[in-house]
Amino acid sequence: MTRYLAGRIFQAFIGLVFITTLVFFLVRLTGDPARILMSEYAPLELREVLAERLGLDRPLYEQYFSYMGGLLTLDLGRSFSGQPVIDVLLARLPATASLAFASLIVAIVLGLPLGILSAVYRGSAVDIFSRTVALFGQSVPAFWLAIMLVLVFAVILRIFPVAYSQGIESYVLPSIAIGWAAVAGIARLVRSSMLDVLDSDYVLMARAKGLPPTVVVVKHAFRSAIIPVLTFGGLVLGSFLNGSVVVETVFAWPGLGKLTLDAVNGRDFPVVQGAVILIAVFFITINLLVDLLYAFADPRVRYR
């Protein structure tokens, strides 16, 4: 287990170095970042001042090491607004994290029962309904769903707020818009995983013993069926990050997604760079946790 753990953490570390290096070179490969940041009509002297301030006049390896060194101390440079980038990012993190959490709850609460029911009652009306939901989940763009939810529930019915406000009720519409796509994924995966398990010998054995069907489904089948669903967790959170950019835009949600889009539009490069790095760190950490959880749940993984 220790060896597996160490290997996996080392892999995650390599992944981080890879992504941060990629971001570093990407910016510089496309030419002079000062030119991307400023209009091409900006006077040359002004561009040179900016280049100096960003340290772009130094040799590449020097820039690289000071950039990587900065990352170690969480120094991501300063936003064009003057604030340290790390502060700007951390201020926006809670809004995105809490929305992702709410979306996960939506996805699980709706997806898990749908998947289980459609596996247990295979071929029935429940199954067909759940498969239809799954097909729709993968076909509806989150941002459009968000706008339509606003139209129906905020503008016409006036049940939920149109945009972000402090209260819990403002989470309802955006978390449905983001979580919807994952409902389909979770339901599909739980269904196929449950079907495999329901056909297995030990489930047959449990049934033969005369255990009540609910116990067999919940205790015997579901426990092993959930393992593949765990790995899906990483992917689900990835889809939430995708969803968060567009959905946060619709609801004026003060999170990382909207921050990144605003920074892109405002050409605030240090913030864009910082956001990408933060998201990559978030991603790699989630994937690491999922893998460790997986190893914990399924002992075979550790001895592969």
Partner 1 sequence: MTMLTSAIGARARSVVGRAGQLPIVPLVILGALIVGALFADVLAPHDPLKVELTNALAPPFYHEGGTMVHPLGTDELGRDILSRLMHGGRVSLLIAASVIVIGGLVGVPVGLLSGYVGGLTDSIIQRAVEAVLSLPTIMVALVFVFVIGQTYLSIILILSPFVAAEIARMVRGDALAIRRSNYVSLARVAGASHLRVILRHILPNVAGTIIVVATLQVGALILVEASLSFLGVGVPPPTPAWGLMIDGGREYVATRYWLSLFPGLAIVVTVLSINWIGDWLRNVLDPRQQML
Q: Which of 227, 231, 240 is nearest to 297 (CA)?
A: 227
Choice between 211 and 264, CB closer to partner 1: 264
Q: Which of 113, 161, 110 is nearest to 136 (CA)?
A: 110
Residues 162-191 that bind partner 1 (CB under 8 A): 188-189, 191
Applying CB under 8 A, does 7 fall inside the site for partner 1?
no
Residue type, 14: I
Choice between 224 and 231, CB closer to partner 1: 231
Question: What span, in angstroms and rounded, lies between the C-alpha atoms of 217 and 10?
Answer: 38
Q: Which stretch binds partner 1 (CB under 8 A): 39-47, 103-111, 203-211, 254-262?
A: 254-262
Applying CB under 8 A, does 214 fall inside the site for partner 1?
no
Site string for partner 1, 11-30 (x = CB under 8 A): x---x--xx------xx--x
First vs last C-alpha separation in the chain: 11
Shortest CB 235 distance to partner 1, Å: 8
Question: What span, in angstroms and rounded, lies between the C-alpha atoms of 107 and 109?
Answer: 6
Crossing angle (nearest 10°) for helices 256-265 and 269-297 = 150
Question: What span, in angstroms and rounded, lies between the C-alpha atoms of 72 and 67?
Answer: 9
Applying CB under 8 A, does 290 fall inside the site for partner 1?
no
Choice between 86 and 272, CB closer to partner 1: 272
Choice between 18 and 121, CB closer to partner 1: 18
Choice between 94 and 141, CB closer to partner 1: 141
Applying CB under 8 A, does 134 fall inside the site for partner 1?
yes
- Dihedral angle over CA of 68, 50, 274, 67, nearest 10: 0
Q: Name residue 78's beta-bridge partners.
A: 84
Q: Which of 227, 247, 239 is nearest to 286 (CA)?
A: 239
Applying CB under 8 A, does 47 fall inside the site for partner 1?
no
**Which pair of tokens denotes residue 14?**
């390599």
Binding site residues, partner 1, CB under 8 A: 11, 15, 18-19, 26-27, 30, 36, 131, 134-136, 138-144, 147-148, 150-151, 155, 188-189, 191-192, 234, 238-239, 241-242, 245-246, 249-250, 257, 260-261, 264-265, 267, 272, 275-276, 279-280, 283-284, 287
